[in-house]
Amino acid sequence: MSVSAPHRPSSDADSRCAPRKRRRKPPRRTGLAAFALAGPFTVLLVGTVLIPVAYAVYLSLFTDRFSGLGFESPRRVFIALGNYWDVLADPAFQVSIRNVVAFALIQVPLMIALALVLAMLLDSAVVRLKQMWSLAVFLPYALPGVIAGLIWAYLYSPGIGPIADLLPFDPLSSGAVLSSIVNIATWQWVGYNVIIFYTALQAVPKELTEAAHVDGAGAFRIAYSIKTPMIKPTIFVSAVFSIIGSLQLFTEPLILRTFTSAVNSTWTPSLYVYESAFVSGDYGRAAAAAVILALASAVLSALVMRLSKRSNR
Amino acid sequence: MTAVLPESGSADRGPARAKPVHRSRWTSRTAIYFVLVLAAAYSILPLIWLVTASTKSLGDFSTTSAFEFGDFNLWNNIQTLFAQDGGVFVAWIRNSVLYAFVGALIGALICAACGYAIAKIPFRGRNLLFGLTLTGVLVPTTALALPLYLLASELRMVDTFWAVFIPVLTNPFGVYLARVYTDSAVPDEILEAARIDGASEVRTFFTVAMPLMRPGIVTVFLFQFVAIWNNFFLPLIMLTDPKLFPVSLGLYQWSNRATQFPDYNPLVITGSMLAILPLILAFVVLQRQWRSGLAAGGIK
C-alpha cells in the first residue's frame, strides 16, 4: 500500500523516456556502468533497510522460551502473530499509542497553522527584512533534537529555568508534560515549515491575488480563499512528514525522563520498542511493536497522499 | 492562540475600506510586526538563555534571574568541560563531524550516482530499485534500529564507529531527489555528445553530469547532514564506549548523571552552547544553500 501512492511518477517518467533510450544500446557497457553507479546505494539499501526490515518481521514471529527450570539457554519458538496480539493487548502499548495520537492531534494542526500564518505575514508586501525574520524562526531547526530537548528541560526545571516560575502550573507535571513536549517540537519545526510554505507562496501567480484584490477581497480573504488552496499540496506533504515524525516521537520524551517522573519508560511507541528490546530483552515483542509502528506510518502517509490527490482534482 | 492571530489581522482590515487607506495600512503593519516579533522572540530567547546560562556557576542559577549574567564563569565552565572525563568532549565533537560531515559527503555522492543511473541509464531492475527506494523512504528509523543492532551484533560490529557510520549513509530520499534533479538538469543531448566523444558512462557522470547536478547534490548533502546530526536512536543503542559518542549522546549521558551529581548541569549547558554555535554559524552563512535546498525539497 505504501508503494501505490509514490509509484506513479516513476512509471510516468519511464514511459516518457523509454522509447528514446531503446534506440541506442551497448548493453554490456551500460550494464557495467549501472553496476558501478547504482551499486553502492543498492548494497546500502539492501543491507541497512531491506534485510533489517525482513529480519524484524522474522523476529516478530518468534519468542524465546525457557524449557524446564530455565537452566538451559532459551529456545526460539515460532508463535506466528502471538507477539502482535501481546503487544496490541498490552495496556502500556495502548497508552503509548494514545499519547502519540494526542500529541499529533495537538501538535500537527497547531504547528501547521502557526507556520501558515507566519508564512502569510512574511509574504505580505509591507514586511521588510523577510530574510532576517525567517532566519530567526528557522534557527531552532539547526539544533539536534537532544540539545533542543535539554534546553527546554532546563527551562522547565524549577530553580534553573524561568518558565516554572512564570507559569501557574508545573510544566513537568504529569498533566502538563504532553503540552510541554508539544511546545518543544513546535519550537523546533515551525520555522522549517514557515520556509517551505513561504517558498510555495512565492509560486502563487501574482495576477490571481491582484484580481481578487480588485474584486474587493481583503488580505485575510485572499490568504484564506486563494493562497491557502494554492499551496494545499505543500501543506499536505508537511502534514504527512509531521504525522510520521509524531508517531516516532522518541528523543524529547527520553530527555524529559531524566527531569520528571511524569514520562515513563513506555511513554511513546518508540520508547516502548526501546524498553522491550534493551531493558526487558524481549526482541520478539520489540520487533512486533516496531513493525506495527512502521505499518501505521505507511498506512497513514498513504491515506493522506490519497486524500490530497482527491482534493486536488 | 495561533487561531486568533489571523482574525486580529482581518479585524484591522475589515473597517479599512471605510477609513482612509493610510491608517489601515499602518495598523495592519503594526499588527504584522507585532506577531513577527513575538515569533522571533519565541524562537531566539531559549538560545539566548543558553548563552547566559553557560556563563554561570551552579550556585548562580538560584541567585540570579534567567537572562541575567552572574559572576562571569564562562571560561571556568569551558575549562572544566574540556577537562572532564579526560577531555572526552573534544572527541564527541570530532565524532559528530565525522558521522555527519563525512557521512553526508559520501552519502550525497552515492545518492547522486544512483539517482543519475536510474534517470539516465537503462538497466535491468531499475524500476524495481526505484520502487524499493521509495518504500525505503517510508520506513521509520526507529523500526530499523533494533534489527540493525541485532545484525551488527551478529557481525561483531556493535560499539564500533562503523555500526553508526554505515547505516546513516543510506538515504533513499536523497536518491529520489537526485533522480528528479537529473531529469531536470542533465539534458540527454549532452550525454549523447560525451558518448560520441568516447567517454565511458562512469566518466560521463563525473565530468559532465555531476557539475550540472551540483545544486541538487548540495541539497542532498544538507538534508543528510541534518538528518545524521539529529540521529540519536542509532548511536544510543549501538555505542557504549564514550570515545565513540557523537556530541548529543555524550551530553545526554551527562544529563543523566546530573540527577545525582548537579555539578554536571553547567557542563551540559556549556557543552550544548559550544556544540550548537558552529551549527548556527553555518546556517547563517550558508543561508542561500539551505533556502534553495528547502525550496526544492518542499515542492516535491
Q: How confident is the model at residue B12 (pLDDT cuts 50, 70, 90)?
A: very low
* Structural domain range at position B14: 4-80
A295 touches chain B (CB under 8 A): no
Predicted complex ipTM exceeds 0.95: no
Contact status, residue A252 vs residue B230, Cβ threshold 8 Å: no
Same domain, yes or no: A96 and A242: yes
Separation in Å, CA of B113 to nearest CA in chain A: 5
Same domain, yes or no: B227 and B150: yes
Query: Which residue from A33, A191, A244 is facing B43, i.e. has the nearest CB?
Result: A191
Does the pLDDT value for residue A164 go beyond 50?
Answer: yes
Same domain, yes or no: A115 and A63: no
Chain B contacts in chain A segment 132-191 (CB below 8 A): 133, 135-147, 150-155, 159-162, 187, 190-191
Q: How confident is the model at residue A162 (pLDDT cuts 50, 70, 90)?
A: confident
Express each pLDDT in A256-292 by its tens digit.
Answer: 988 888 888 889 999 999 999 888 888 888 999 999 9
Same domain, yes or no: B72 and B135: no
Q: Using DSSP, state whether A265 is helix, strand or coil.
A: coil
Average model confidence (pLDDT) across chain A = 80
Query: Which residue from B118, B123, B127 is facing A30, i.e. has the nearest CB?
Result: B123
Whole-number percent of chain A with pLDDT over 70: 85
Average model confidence (pLDDT) across chain B = 81
pTM, entire model: 0.81
Chain B contacts in chain A segment 77-106 (CB below 8 A): none
Q: For chain B, what is the domain count?
A: 2
Mean pLDDT across B48-52: 87
Q: How confident is the model at residue B64 (pLDDT cuts 50, 70, 90)?
A: low
Same domain, yes or no: A64 and A122: no
Q: Check residues B89 and B198 and name the one with the higher pLDDT.
A: B89
C-alpha cell at B135: 518504500
**DSSP for B198-249, written as a single string:** T--HHHHIIIIIHHHHHHHHHHHHHHHHHHHHH--HHHHHH---GGG--HHH
Same domain, yes or no: A69 and A156: no
Domain boundary among A80, A102, A122: A80
Q: Pick the most confident of A16-20, A55-59, A303-307, B197-201.
A: A55-59
Query: Which residue from A31, A37, A187 is facing B113, i.e. has the nearest CB?
Result: A37
3-state helix, strand, coil split of chain B in percent (to 5) is 80, 0, 20
Q: For chain A, what is the domain count?
A: 2
The DSSP output letter for B139 is S
Q: Pick the most confident of A60-64, A153-157, B9-13, B234-238.
A: B234-238
Does the pLDDT value for residue B67 go beyond 70?
Answer: no
Same domain, yes or no: B74 and B91: no
Query: Which residue from B3, B127, B139 is facing A10, i.e. has the nearest CB?
Result: B127
Query: Which residue from A110, A137, A297 is facing B2, i.e. has the nearest CB?
Result: A110
Grid cell 559550544 is found at B274
Q: Which residue from A196, A270, A149 is spatially nearest to B252, judged by alpha carbons?
A: A149
* Structural domain range at position A66: 24-80
Does the distance separating the beta carbons of A59 and B148 come in below 8 Å? no
Does the distance separating the beta carbons of B280 and A38 come in below 8 Å? no
Long-range contacts of residues B198-206, Cβ cutoff 8 Å, at least 24 apart: B200/A29, B200/A33, B201/A29, B201/A30, B201/A32, B201/A33, B201/A34, B201/A36, B201/A37, B201/B121, B202/A33, B202/A36, B202/A37, B205/A33, B205/A37, B205/B113, B205/B116, B205/B117
Q: How confident is the model at residue A170 (pLDDT cuts 50, 70, 90)?
A: confident
What CATH code is carried by the domain that includes residue A110?
1.10.3720.10
Residues 6+ apart with CB under 8 A from B84: B267
Q: How confident is the model at residue A113 (pLDDT cuts 50, 70, 90)?
A: very high
Least confident segment among A219-223, B80-84, B117-121: A219-223
Separation in Å, CA of A70 to nearest CA in chain B: 23
* Interface A-B: count of C-beta contacts within 8 A: 326
Does the distance separating the beta carbons of B65 and A162 come in below 8 Å? yes
Same domain, yes or no: A89 and A130: yes
Q: Strands (DSSP E) along chain A, which ranges?
A: 62-65, 75-78
Residue A59: its chain B contacts at CB < 8 A?
146-147, 150
Same domain, yes or no: A63 and A161: no
Domain boundary among A80, A108, A124: A80
Quote the pLDDT of residue B199: 80
Quote the pLDDT of residue B288: 77
Quote the pLDDT of residue B137: 82
Cα–Cα–Cα angle for A95, A101, A105, rounded to 5 degrees: 145
Mean pLDDT across A18-27: 47
Q: How confident is the model at residue A72 (pLDDT cuts 50, 70, 90)?
A: low
Q: Check residues A217 and A43 and name the one with the higher pLDDT.
A: A43
